[in-house]
Amino acid sequence: MLPPLRVLETCVYTKDLDAAFEFYSEVLALRLHSRAPGRHIFFHCGQGMLLIFNPDETEHAHPDEIPSHGSRGSEHVCWAVEREDLPRWRSQLEKHGVAIEHEQTWENGARSIYFRDPAGNSLEFATPRLWENDPD
Amino acid sequence: MLPPLRVLETCVYTKDLDAAFEFYSEVLALRLHSRAPGRHIFFHCGQGMLLIFNPDETEHAHPDEIPSHGSRGSEHVCWAVEREDLPRWRSQLEKHGVAIEHEQTWENGARSIYFRDPAGNSLEFATPRLWENDPD
């Protein structure tokens, strides 16, 4: 049995979609796909999507029959960024007043920078080969 | 400002890591990266990773200084699968007693199949071009 090709949709949840829109569009520079005020914001990222939902609107069955979901708490999403772009991302976070919570150098030489979105989700920029044995 | 390359880590949370291991390795056929009993299971998927955490173990600050995270409720993850593989995936779900909760044909012709993992997270198989204007 071959696995799926890749993750196509990664989700985070927040009640403050306006703050999320500003953060993910301006700080992370994600390309907007669509918004449904009060319910969701969808962004493109690489070959996939980041879907941001208000759990109050998605945790109950919906008339369009799309299955319910919705979680609360701090989630974690990591984005791949090129090593040579890390200084640019540090500047971008600083420019927008986003604190760097932690930096990490992994055993294989990969680098990570951790920060938070306005909802408190734990976000990470990591060099692309973090999960491989060879450094990048 | 260019966006990150792609999502590198997508997470779900569950207290029953053994059930998650069996499900994601046997039903979704994901390739195991590593396990820390009681805390996490990490799987490869395409160029990214699915990280499964027990939120009881990750929601508090950790001695290794990796920032805390952990959520509760039903999350959503969608995987891209080739259209010609949908029948194979339907058979795989049926073989493992996983109910198909909903099927959807989208405006652009893309297809989705929704089901649940043992923790109740809402999972989806979708044809790869779900978010593009052209059908696949």
The sheet with strand A76-80 has its strands ordered as: A102-105, A111-116, A122-126, A76-80, B6-13, B48-53, B40-45, B31-36
CB contacts < 8 A (A, B): 198
Q: Is the pLDDT of residue A131 over 60?
A: yes
- Residue B93, by phi and psi: left (phi above 0), alpha (psi -120 to 50) or beta? alpha
Measured between beta carbons, which residues in chain B are less than 8 angstroms from residue A122?
67-69
Q: What is the mean pLDDT of chain B?
A: 94
- What interface predicted TM-score (ipTM) does this complex get? 0.95
State the pLDDT at residue B64. Answer: 66
Express each pLDDT in A96-124 by its tens digit. 999 999 999 999 999 999 999 999 999 99
State the pLDDT at residue A29. Answer: 98
| Residue B41 at interface with chain A, using a CB cutoff of 8 Å | no
3-state secondary structure of A32: strand
Pairing status of strand A6-13 against strand A48-53: parallel
Which of B64, B66, B69 is the best substitution to test chain A (most A C-beta atoms within 10 A)?
A: B69
- Verify whether the Cβ–Cβ distance A11 to B75 is below 8 Å: yes
3-state secondary structure of B37: coil
| Residue A106 at interface with chain B, using a CB cutoff of 8 Å | no
- Verify whether the Cβ–Cβ distance B72 to A71 is below 8 Å: yes
- Verify whether the Cβ–Cβ distance A71 to B13 is below 8 Å: yes
State the pLDDT at residue A78. Answer: 98
Express each pLDDT in A40-84 by its tens digit. 999 999 999 999 999 999 998 766 688 999 999 999 999 999 999
State the pLDDT at residue A60. Answer: 85
pLDDT bucket at B136, cuts 50 / 70 / 90: low
Superfamily of segment(s) B74-136 = 2,3-Dihydroxybiphenyl 1,2-Dioxygenase, domain 1 (3.10.180.10)
DSSP type of residue A100: P
Q: CATH for A9-59+72-126? A: 3.10.180.10
Can you give the residue ranges of every domain in chain A?
A: 9-59+72-126
Pairing status of strand A76-80 against strand A122-126: parallel
- Verify whether the Cβ–Cβ distance A67 to B102 is below 8 Å: yes
Domain B1-60: which topology? Answer: 2,3-Dihydroxybiphenyl 1,2-Dioxygenase; domain 1 (3.10.180)
Interface of B with A in 58-77 (CB under 8 A): 59, 65-77
pLDDT bucket at B80, cuts 50 / 70 / 90: very high
The dihedrals phi and psi of B15, each to the nearest 5 degrees, come to -85, -20
pLDDT bucket at B1, cuts 50 / 70 / 90: confident
State the pLDDT at residue A65. Answer: 81
Contacts 24+ apart (CB under 8 A), B43-46: B44/A131, B45/A3, B45/A4, B45/A6, B45/A7, B45/B79, B46/A4, B46/A5, B46/A6, B46/A7, B46/B80
pLDDT bucket at B61, cuts 50 / 70 / 90: confident
Q: Is the pLDDT of residue B12 over 80?
A: yes
- Name the least confident of A68-72, B62-66, B85-89: B62-66
State the pLDDT at residue A82. Answer: 97
Taking the CA of residue A100 and the nearest CA in chain B, the distance in Å comes to 10
State the Cα–Cα distance between residues B45 and A4, nearest whole angstrom.
Answer: 7
Taking the CA of residue B50 and the nearest CA in chain A, the distance in Å comes to 8
